[in-house]
A and B are shown apart, each in its own frame.
Chain A
């Protein structure tokens, strides 16, 4: 099992670095091309949110195993403003930045598990997982 690897998010260049890290790790873990694209795209959305709303943060990627299932876990963390209303933020089309409001709900659709922990003025941690089809 490859070790956890992290990418620091500070600029839009780091978004590309984070999603490349996620894709490479997914490939290493045996995910197929379509799942690699799903995982890389979800990470791109979450990393961009960190950059846009918190300024800085990190994306950590690691292989996981549970009941003989293999998968990938991605933790996106920031110490930004937090999300005031998670239910609203998860709605398709909801945005506070004239975006498309697609990042969070889209990333959730692309992954198998998706958990948001957030506290206003403390930060946001989003943990998501995808399992390999066996």
Chain B
């Protein structure tokens, strides 16, 4: 079956994926694979996943997000989730999925700013040591 693809944009060394439709399981897995491949191909240092349009994150999608964050981290890219609706955040915690360790920002703009300030910090650190 054809699962629909989530477009992944590249802006500088950051990838941005805005999820605009309800993800079924197969398209969620496809998205994870596409994103990790793209991190590899572009050597991106950061990934922003925008969930503004998503009104349900269940354990399957929640686990996928946690997996993406862990795997991206191994590949040297930091993940920031943006646009989490209040109802989604509350439901995730009540479900028992707190996504600890996954960075979040209120919206895309703040997510990009967060990415930038962390990149600056990393540079300062490497300046100090090197």
Chain A residues engaging chain B, CB cutoff 8 angstroms: 12-13, 15-16, 19-20, 23, 33-34, 36-38, 40-41, 44-45, 48, 92, 99-100, 102-103, 105-107, 109-110
Contacts and interface: CB of A to CB of B under 8 A. Distances in A.
B25 A33 contact: no
B56 A40 contact: yes
B105 interface: no
Contacts of B24: 12-13, 15-16
A23 B55 CA distance: 10
Nearest to A48: B60
Contacts, number: 75
B22 interface: yes
Interface of B: 22-26, 55-60, 63, 85-88, 90-91, 94-97
A37 B88 contact: yes
A100 B23 CA distance: 19
A19 B72 CA distance: 30
Contact of B56 (A12, A23, A34, A105): A23
A16 B22 contact: yes
A20 B85 CA distance: 17
B96 A41 contact: no
Nearest to B87: A37
Contacts of B96: 92, 102, 105-106, 109
A128 B128 CA distance: 58
Nearest to A110: B94
A26 B52 CA distance: 21
